[in-house]
Structure formats: C-alpha cells, structure tokens
Structure 1
C-alpha cells in the first residue's frame, strides 16, 4: 500500500517537473528537460520576472490538478506555457510583493482555464492549436487593470538589466538579440545571446529562420517607416522571429517552399504590427504576440484547407528531425490510403499500367491490366485463336481488398479473340466498396463465372470469379482500377499495390513495372510467429564483439498511450509493428546502441518468403551515423530535401537468415548486418558490423 502511494507521489512530482520544464522549452519550439532548465535559468537573470513565471506555472498546474486533470496529461507543457508567459509579463512590470504574487497566482489559474476552453474550441471547430491566445487575453487584462492597482509597484517598462557593448557589430545584431530576449520579457543582449546559442545547438534550421525572419521583418517595416535602424530596436520584432520559425520549420516540414511561406508570413505581419501599435498604444499596451498568433494560425488553416503536403503531422522535437521522419516515412511506407493487393495468385504479366498506350487514357489513366505469359513472352498457346489457348483464361481472380460488393454483372458473353464489345465496355464486373471507402472495379470476367453477390462482405483473397474476355477486351485479362464513384463512368484515382515481387525484388508498396512478370507474395505463418511479441515480455541478449562477450542487454515489450508497441530499455525505445503483411521497426528514441542494432539489422521483414528474395529500405541516417554526421545530414537535407540519405538492401539467404548492407554515400559509411530467425527464440542472433546480439534463452 505504501509502495503504491510512494509511486503515485513520485509520478506526480515527475509530472510537475515535466510540466514546468516543458513550458519553458515549448516557447521556443524545442524539447527536452535540459533546454527547459537552461531557459528557466536564463529567466532568473531577472529574478523578478523569472520567479513570477515559475509561480504562474505552479498556479496553473495546481488549478488543473484541482479540476481533476492527471499529471501525465499536463506533462507536455502545452497547457502551462501560456501561464508561464503571463507570469513573465507580470514580473516584468511589477516588483515582487505579496500583492503581486497574489496577482500572479490568480492570473496563472485564469490562464489555465482559458487555455483549456480555447484549446477545445479551436481543435473541435478548426483543428488548430491555440499558440499564445490565452497569454494575449490574460496579459491584456492584467496590463489594463494595472492602471487602477495603485498598491502594486511598477518597475518601468522595458528597463534593461544588462548591457553589452556591441558597437563593433551592425545595428541589427543588437536588435536581433534584444528581440529574441523579449520573447521571455528580457529584452537585452545577454539574454538574447544565450537564447540564440541554445537555438543554434538545438536546431540550425530554427536559428537561421529566426535570424532571416527578423532581418526581413525589420527591413520591410523600416522601409515603410523610413528607419530600419530604429525598427531593429523595437523589441516587438520578436513576432517576425516566431513566425519564421513556426511556418518554416515547426508546423511545416522544412523545404524551400515552406521557407517561402514563412517569409511571406513575416511580410504580412508587418502590416498587422503597424496597425497593432497604433491601436494598442492608445491604451499604453504592447502588442504582445498578436501578429505571430494571427498570421501563423491563418496560414496553418489555409494550408490545411489546401491539403498542403508538407504540413507537420508528428512533431519529433526539431525541424531537422521532422524532415528526416518525413523523408523516411515517404520512402518506407504506403503514401496513399488506396493500397491494394494483387488480384491474382502466383505470377502474372503486367500488360498495361498507368497512362498505358491503349485504353488507360484521360479520366481512366489509373488502371492496370494483367495477363499470364510463358517464357517466350507469349500469352497463349498455339496460334491463340481460341479463348482456351490463353494461359489466364479461366484462372481465379481474387479480391484485392476487404469490403462489400456493391455491383455485379455476370451474364455478358465472352468475346471471340480479336473482337470487342463497344457497348458494354467493362463486361462482366465486380465493384467493391472497401472498408476505407474506396471504390474498386475488376472487369472482364468470364461469362457466368462470378461467385460473389451484391451486398456480400468479402476479405482480401476471396475468390471473386474467373478471368475472361467480356467487354472491351481483345484478349483475356484482368482489369483493375480505383475510381471516384460507383457509377460506370467515374474517373479513376491513383493507387498502389502492396507486397509484390518482381525479378526477385520485394516491394512493400508501389506500381509494378510494365512488360515484366509480377508475383503475389504469400503470407507465411512462420514469419508472423517470429515477429509476435507479447506485452510485458522481456527478452535477454548477450553482447559479443569479435566473438568475445562484452555486455548483456534486455528489453521489455511495452505499449504507448497511442497503442503503439515498442521495445524499452533504460536508455531508449524502439517502436515496431505490422502493416500490410510486413513487420517494421519504425523508429528509435534515445541512445541505446543495442536497440539501434535491431533497427539497422531488421528495419523491415516481409512476412513471406521466396528463395533469394531481396528488398530495399530507407532508414534514419542518425541511427547509422555518429552525432555530428547525423547533424550535418539533417541540415543539408533541410536545404535540399533528400540530398543525403542512407539506403539499405536486405536478402533472404535461407528461410531463417537475412543478410543486409547499409550504405551512406555522403560519408562513405557501409555496415553489414545478419539476422538468424528461430521459431522459439525468434531473433536468435543479430549482427551489425563487429557487434553481435545472441539471445539468452536460458534466462
């Protein structure tokens, strides 16, 4: 009982600490407790503001816990960073006293309530984050109320605590540093210098965007007002910094187009900043983060409506990490939801593909035709005059998806070879609405050969009927397409096939090469069994280097709040799972070298087998390279996407062995891998370079 109580207390304290530190790092779009500690320490340079900010977080956290929110829910800092900003704003103008501390507590709690309400409204109605809207609301209320709070002692607006002699540098250097410091209400060069170094260490992309955004903003605004130099000293220019970072590297994947969007946002903000100064100055108020919030949210929503492909879906901690995750995901996984299995068993011949030379044109360009050919490339026996001469005639056609049959035509006759039915274009057909809502049409079935009926639910691999020559078909073949609607003339849409083999090369997803054989990869139970891991299971390994044991290693199978499975050690996590009949190691978090070995040796395993089957994969460069090399790769890719990547190729050398080779051309790094699979121990041994993990089945 006492142990459970102590555990709960420890978890609560950990949640409070995470909420506190993440609130600081979230202001600058960076993650990590260390970054939070550094920014917290920087705020204490002005202890008046620093202590007020800390107290405001504690107040918001306390109110949230009082309302029933769990510490794990608050640990991200998302619900408390606005309270931090409010506390800093109060501490910036009011001296510490009992009354000012009471105001901080009240304002921090109010900010938490407004954060919860606005976050829910914005997410439900617009699908947006709230950024610093609660901070703007509460800080404006506090500053307006300050005029009547005569018992509170004002420090003096924008009074610098420290000065650096920067006369030898251009005027904009001082302006940039002051503006950066003004984000945490410390508009001085020392604070700005420390924050700029922190940005540089965490993300070169964010640092460059912050600098370029500031320079562009003051140049435009200064050109309008007639003095760029005086504009550079306006600390509200930090809005340009935040906009450039948010639109160029946080909410959008780093790319030349995203940078252009960011700088366009900075240009728009100059107009809002000018109008804001005129309006708010009448009340003696700063504009706070109004330009940043208004411009950033407007752009995010507009890009969302346009389905901008480079919007950040999962934030990994920095723009560079976001970009790497995006590039690896694009190369490794199915990029369109319309993913189909091949509609046949065995090996067929890809006769016509997308935008084919005969019938796949215009609105009907996204389709595939398949036949069966012999070793000489012929699709028929003898002279091919009879339908029965064609190898594919009468062969089974199987369902490429799970779904419901919504249309069946089965009564049309097969055409004689060389003639077509121009009235009934699709001939005998089966139309399926799959479980994701896509409409799939398979056409040219043999007369009265269809086995399924309208309204029937079918699974992948269900036999639909037999290949024929009905409709607009000069020879027996299977036609398949995904279309925008269920009617006959609906336009086709792009799709991909999953788990197929061409020339001994396995493809997890893609489009088969035309005029080449293509085979369906059959699911093998053995490979499914060796990649099945039970929740809370512990696996033990002995670590060898050059045949000498140097260490031992264990991981536990865990599941995250999002139902993702991962291997966990004290030093990291390796996320894994299965998609479309393949086992994947998705990503590595932390610095555990042995989890990285598993990722490198088996980033993907097809749950099917052909002798000497090969497959390629694209893996994270930061896993194979050292820290500085990975940083260089990420920065270069931020300048030009896919400029540098790490490619890997693997092959079944037997039913239980997989060998691989990973290569990074830029740094000329090559690593060999070898995995031995076993039905009982699963990963019997994993070798990467000179290191080998051998499973300890005795433990």
Structure 2
C-alpha cells in the first residue's frame, strides 16, 4: 500500500512538473496555476493533460530514467503538442488516435535529441514539440475526416461550462483592463506559450512566474521590453497579430540565458540584452519563410539562439567570472545563484590536490615564500621548516652538533598519496655552519601525486630514505628523516611543490589543504592557505571521540529523541549513499536529506534537501563544518546559502537584486569549549552560532549547545526564536 501511494504521488508530481518545466521550474504551486490556465479552453486543456499522461506512462513502461520523468523533462513537450492539437482540431475518434501517435512520437524525438545533443551537454528544449507539431499539421492537411475546431469563437461558452457567470465576468474584466498596449502584449505573449491568447491567462502566468522566481520574472520583462524597444527602432510593431503571438520567444530566451542555464549575473543579463535583437531578426526572417508552408515558427527562434549560444560557450578556453554555466541544476535561478555564491567560496579549492604538512607535531616556518635567503625567482614558492624549543631556539646546548637541533633525525612524511619519482640518499650531512654547493639539494625525494603535480623534500639525512623510485606512498607515511645535506648550514626540512619531476625544478604556488596554526594566544584553523614565515604550524591532531562521532557509514542509523517546543518527538534516520557515492543522512518521516563529506580530517555538510524546520535541518546547520581535532577555544567560521536561513518573504527584494548585489548574508561559527580528558575523551562540548546578517550586521542569532559522548551520542540544545529543541541522537 505504501509503495502504491508513493508511486501515485510520484506520478502526480511528474505530471505537474511537465507543466512548470516549460518555464524550467519544478514548483508545484506554479504548476497548478499553469494547469488552470490550460483549461481556459477545456478541450485543449484535456488534450494537453492526456498527452502528458500518455508520455509519462510510456516512458515509465520503457524504463527511461526515473529522475528525467519525475522532473517533467519528457512530458512538457507532449503537453505543448497536445495543447496545440486540441486548440486546432475538434474532438473525434480520429483526432484522439492522432493525439496518441503524436504524443508517442514526441517522446521518441525527446529521447533521441537527448542522445544526439545531450552528449554535448545541451538540452533538447522544446525542439521535440516544434518538430512533432509541424509534422502532424503537414500530414493532417490530407486528413479530410479530421474536423477543424471552431471553439475559439465560443471561448466564453467554454469558460461558462467551467466556472459559470463569475468566471466569464472575471475573464471579460481582465481582458478589458485599461493597461498600456505593451503590457497587454506582454501578457498575451505569456499566454500564447500555452496557446491561450488572453490577458487573463498572461496575468495568471506572470503571477505564477513571480511567485516561482523573482529573477525569472524580471528577466521575462527585460527580454520582452528589449525586443519591444528593438522593434520600435527598426520600425516593426511587436503589438501586431503575428508578432505578439510569438513574443514568448524573447521571454523564454531571457529566462534561459539570463537565469537558468547560466548563473544569474551582470554578464548574463548583458548577454541577454545582446541576444534579444538576434532572436528578433531570426523571428522575423523565419516567420516569412514558414508562412510559405502555412506553419507557425512557435518557439524555434528561442531554441536556435539558446542552443547556439550554449554550444559556443563550450569552446571557451577559460571560464570568465561573470558568465558561468550551471553545473548542478536546482530548477530555480535564485537557488542556483545563492548556492553558487556559497559553494564558490566554500569549495573553491576542491580542484586542488589535498596536501598536508610533511611531518608530525608542531614546526616553525623559518623561510616561506619569497624568502630572504634562498627562496628567490623560480624557486620562491617553497618552505623551510624547523622545530623550536620552549626558549624559541631551534637547538639545545650550544648548537654545535647536528644532534643538538630539535628537528634533526625527525621523521619526514609523505605530504599526500602518490608514487615516488626520484630518490637521492647518498649525500653526506654537513657539519653545522657548512654547506655543500655542488650537491645543492642534498638528499631529496620527489613524489608524483598526479600528472603535472609533484612534491619535493630536500636536505634529508643520508641513507634515511625508506622508499625507492616506483614505490606508492600514502599520506602521512614515513619516507625519510631530517638531515643537513646540500646547501643547508643547519638542519631543516625544505618542502616545495612543482610541475615537473626533476630535483632542480621551479616551484609551484600551491596551498596546503588544512593545518593548525599556533598564534601564541590560541589556535587557528587554516584551510587551503600558505604558511608564512615564523608561523608555528601542525597537521590536525585527530581526536578519537570526534573521529568516531562523525564516522558515519552507509547502512548505519541514528535514533533521535527530542522535544520541540516542549512536545516530545522521536525519529530514526539512516545513512545512505546515492549513485554518485555522495553520503547523506535521510529522515524517512519528513523526506529530508543532509549530504555530508568526511575526508578523515574534516567533516562538513555540503547540501540539504527538505523543509526548513525539524531536527535534521538544525543538525545540518549545527554540524556544518567540524575539524576532527580538539583545540580548546578554536573557532571555525563558514557561511550558508542565504535561502537556507531567510524566508521567501525576507528574500523578495534580495532576489531581484541578487545578480548585482548581496545585502543579506549568513555566518556559521563553531567554538571548541571543553573535553573531559585530553588523552581519552569521553565527552566534548562545542558551541555553534548560526547568524543571519543585513549589510554585514547581525540580524538574528541561533545558539546551539553541543555535547558529544562516547557511543556515538550527540546532545543538542537549540535556542531559535520559534524553535526550542532539546535532542539526544545515537548512532547505531
């Protein structure tokens, strides 16, 4: 029974999405509004719905990808075909046979185009609808038994059957509104997308578009009025019968280029303004060509320009800051933009190889990038590391012997996984104060981490290398010991990254993934930074309790007992992984999902799907980023996508301005408070602070007290304004 209910809901959703997908949306409210608009002509609306049902049922029967069906990507073209046929022809058995055949044919074209142009990362758009409707219209000219519809003459009769006198009166009132002619044409153009040529249908669609996306709504106006201005300049009239019915080409082009396939930005808006005149030229020219065959061009100009522009962008050698394609599609321009802004900051270094510091414990940078001694010119992006004692010196006694130096003979570890490329291990260590200029680098190990990326560790101790060329090494594996060979007057470790495998290669400016810096007044978590001179740095010293608490493995479950505003609740979540091996916590009761990643040193959430309430939502906010080492009073900062913390109403104005200026912001802060035992902790206390901001000034703060205990137990106390939650979660 549950499975049947789930299947039914899924099918209803994919049916609704087939309507909203015309505007690149999966918003249910918008979809319902569009369904209502299509039924202004009851028979056409029925034909459109029937075409969607036929297409989606056949797609499921043929086992096409469920997600493609759910999103309405196969149904929306059939919807438009059904509406077009329903408007033009009258009912009859032959008509319904043609409707079924046209729906099936449209599905075949949709899937074929996905295979043909989809491999180039291009969408099929509404080309299946155009091709299918053209072929059917051309063929049916010889179908003498097929009746042409005259229902358009009696539109008011159709409306009376649906809603009586009230609907008829409403329809006439809206159509007789005293509004500027350009705005009337804008509304008619919107309605024409669904073959409804009335002001009321356009107004309803515009309202739905505004509800769905402020960016899409503003782009629809921008595109239409840019075309309106261009027509005025060239002396044509967009208000004329022919052009107003195909004015939606400018609207759809603007939404597609300005806010859907590209991240909304100044550049995407400017390109929209530039492309609209091209759409107008193509519209005018193609209209003259296809009138010869008695065919409408429908959305052909929109399809040609959008596909051409997206295809051209594939050949860029460098992606510009302002013109970026959407890689993860959230079916709303605002979500695409806010997620991009957040992730371009949070994950901007994901393309970098995760290097760690090549040693254990805390060391000091004696010479950093652009160093004053030897790190010059092509070799300026390197580090020299030493160990300082409590007295600030790098040696004990007088420092006359190599053994006096704290770092001498200390373990050198691989900074990342890779294959040993070259090893020099037979250079004698220099006495303190002397250097070997002939064998400048001394004993050295070069490791290849990936093509074009190598690390080099030099001045190693003679015959201390534990690896040989061709050996595969793991991150943190001991590969040698610190010495004083080569151009090294005192023991230290030279570390650099480079693009070629040679010992004398030039250096590469490249960050260390994460490390801890001891400032003297506390600890600082550094992420993808380059240590500077005199910094005291170390890799994250992993805490066993933090490691166990956040080692979440697919197949595990989390039992949650909590009170929400003093009302008791209980939930059980499960840890799963999707087809792309992305791990997430899933709450079956609410359907919410919180995606996370654990790289062994850092746990962080990457995305959340579901309602902006409930315990899993606050878990996502509270455990947003957690290094797996405990350092008392350490503070971690990050930010959330703004649409996760602000309501739709609060974001209304920001949505319009977001492509140009962000005045709303968020902040996540985590502070490490206490642990009961430094060696074997059984309890750790943390405090998270979730903050919304206006022009960088705090608006609202949500404090969260967190206690982690052995046995995979999390205790949280969340003190939001409307949500007071006390929770105990146990992993099992």
TM-score, length-scaled by structure 2 = 0.85
- Taking the aligned partners of 2:530 and 2:248, their CA distance within structure 1 comes to 48
Q: Does the CA-based 8 Å contact 1:255-1:640 persist in structure 2?
A: no
- Taking the aligned partners of 1:84 and 1:458, their CA distance within structure 2 comes to 57
Q: Deviations over 1:179-205 (max 9, x none)?
A: 122222223211111111111111111
Q: Does the CA-based 8 Å contact 2:625-2:638 persist in structure 1?
A: yes
Q: 1:107 aligns with which of 99, 102, 107?
A: 102
Q: Deviations over 1:154-185 (max 9, x none)?
A: 34799895664567433221121111222222
The within-5 A match list for 1:151-170 is 151-155=145-149, 161=155, 164-165=174-175, 168-170=178-180
Counterpart check, 1:137 vs 2:131: yes
Using the TM superposition, give the Cα deviation of residue 462 of structure 1 relative to its aligned residue in structure 2, in angstroms: 0.7
Q: Does the CA-based 8 Å contact 2:238-2:247 persist in structure 1?
A: no
Using the TM superposition, give the Cα deviation of residue 261 of structure 1 relative to its aligned residue in structure 2, in angstroms: 2.8
- Taking the aligned partners of 2:386 and 2:15, their CA distance within structure 1 comes to 64
Distance 1:108 1:229, change over 3 A: closer
Q: Does the CA-based 8 Å contact 1:119-1:130 persist in structure 2?
A: yes
Q: Does the CA-based 8 Å contact 1:350-1:512 persist in structure 2?
A: yes
Which position in structure 2 is the counterpart of 1:605? 626
Q: Does the CA-based 8 Å contact 2:287-2:296 persist in structure 1?
A: yes
Q: Does the CA-based 8 Å contact 1:676-1:683 persist in structure 2?
A: yes
Using the TM superposition, give the Cα deviation of residue 626 of structure 1 relative to its aligned residue in structure 2, in angstroms: 4.0
Distance 1:544 1:225, change over 3 A: closer
Q: Does the CA-based 8 Å contact 1:572-1:595 persist in structure 2?
A: no
- Taking the aligned partners of 1:477 and 1:647, their CA distance within structure 2 comes to 40
Counterpart check, 1:318 vs 2:316: no
Counterpart check, 1:372 vs 2:387: yes
Q: 1:565 aligns with which of 574, 584, 596?
A: 584
The within-5 A match list for 1:587-602 is 587-591=607-611, 592-602=613-623
| Further displaced range: 315-324 or 417-426 | 417-426
The within-5 A match list for 1:548-563 is 549-559=566-576, 561-562=578-579, 563=581
Counterpart check, 1:678 vs 2:709: yes
- Taking the aligned partners of 2:437 and 2:19, their CA distance within structure 1 comes to 69
- Taking the aligned partners of 2:222 and 2:289, their CA distance within structure 1 comes to 27
Q: Deviations over 1:193-242 (max 9, x none)?
A: 11111111111111111110111123224423444554995332212211
The number of aligned residues is 688
Three-state SS of the structure 2 residue aligned to 1:449 is coil
Using the TM superposition, give the Cα deviation of residue 517 of structure 1 relative to its aligned residue in structure 2, in angstroms: 1.8
- Taking the aligned partners of 1:583 and 1:605, their CA distance within structure 2 comes to 5
Using the TM superposition, give the Cα deviation of residue 560 of structure 1 relative to its aligned residue in structure 2, in angstroms: 5.4
Which position in structure 2 is the counterpart of 1:3? none
Three-state SS of the structure 1 residue aligned to 2:72 is coil
Q: Does the CA-based 8 Å contact 1:553-1:594 persist in structure 2?
A: no
- Taking the aligned partners of 2:376 and 2:115, their CA distance within structure 1 comes to 47
Q: Does the CA-based 8 Å contact 2:575-2:585 persist in structure 1?
A: yes
Instruction: Structure 2 unaligned segments of length 5 or more: list them.
Output: 156-170, 676-683
The within-5 A match list for 1:245-260 is 245-260=255-270
Q: 2:306 aligns with which of 296, 300, 303?
A: 296
Distance 1:148 1:659, change over 3 A: same
Distance 1:650 1:159, change over 3 A: farther
- Taking the aligned partners of 2:252 and 2:439, their CA distance within structure 1 comes to 60
| Further displaced range: 202-211 or 65-74 | 65-74
Q: Does the CA-based 8 Å contact 2:713-2:731 persist in structure 1?
A: no
| Further displaced range: 328-337 or 668-677 | 328-337
The within-5 A match list for 1:492-571 is 495-502=510-517, 503=519, 504-533=523-552, 535=555, 537-543=557-563, 545=565, 549-559=566-576, 561-562=578-579, 563=581, 564-571=583-590
Distance 1:236 1:52, change over 3 A: same
Distance 1:551 1:495, change over 3 A: farther
Using the TM superposition, give the Cα deviation of residue 117 of structure 1 relative to its aligned residue in structure 2, in angstroms: 1.9
Three-state SS of the structure 2 residue aligned to 1:283 is coil
- Taking the aligned partners of 2:477 and 2:351, their CA distance within structure 1 comes to 23
Q: Deviations over 1:333-373 (max 9, x none)?
A: 34433221222221223455556677667766655444434
Q: Does the CA-based 8 Å contact 1:338-1:438 persist in structure 2?
A: no
Which position in structure 1 is the counterpart of 2:690? 662
- Taking the aligned partners of 1:64 and 1:411, their CA distance within structure 2 comes to 69
Which position in structure 1 is the counterpart of 2:475? 460
Three-state SS of the structure 1 residue aligned to 2:725 is strand
Q: Does the CA-based 8 Å contact 1:216-1:263 persist in structure 2?
A: yes
Using the TM superposition, give the Cα deviation of residue 282 of structure 1 relative to its aligned residue in structure 2, in angstroms: 1.9
Using the TM superposition, give the Cα deviation of residue 107 of structure 1 relative to its aligned residue in structure 2, in angstroms: 1.0
Counterpart check, 1:647 vs 2:647: no
The CA RMSD over aligned residues, in Å, is 3.3
- Taking the aligned partners of 2:345 and 2:543, their CA distance within structure 1 comes to 25
Three-state SS of the structure 1 residue aligned to 2:247 is helix
- Taking the aligned partners of 1:175 and 1:489, their CA distance within structure 2 comes to 70
The within-5 A match list for 1:19-418 is 19-69=14-64, 74-124=69-119, 126-155=120-149, 161=155, 164-165=174-175, 168-227=178-237, 229-230=239-240, 233-306=243-316, 308=319, 310-333=324-347, 334-351=349-366, 367-373=382-388, 379=394, 391-413=406-428
Q: Does the CA-based 8 Å contact 1:86-1:107 persist in structure 2?
A: yes
Q: Does the CA-based 8 Å contact 2:33-2:204 persist in structure 1?
A: no
| Further displaced range: 617-626 or 458-467 | 617-626
TM-score, length-scaled by structure 1 = 0.88
- Taking the aligned partners of 1:147 and 1:190, their CA distance within structure 2 comes to 32
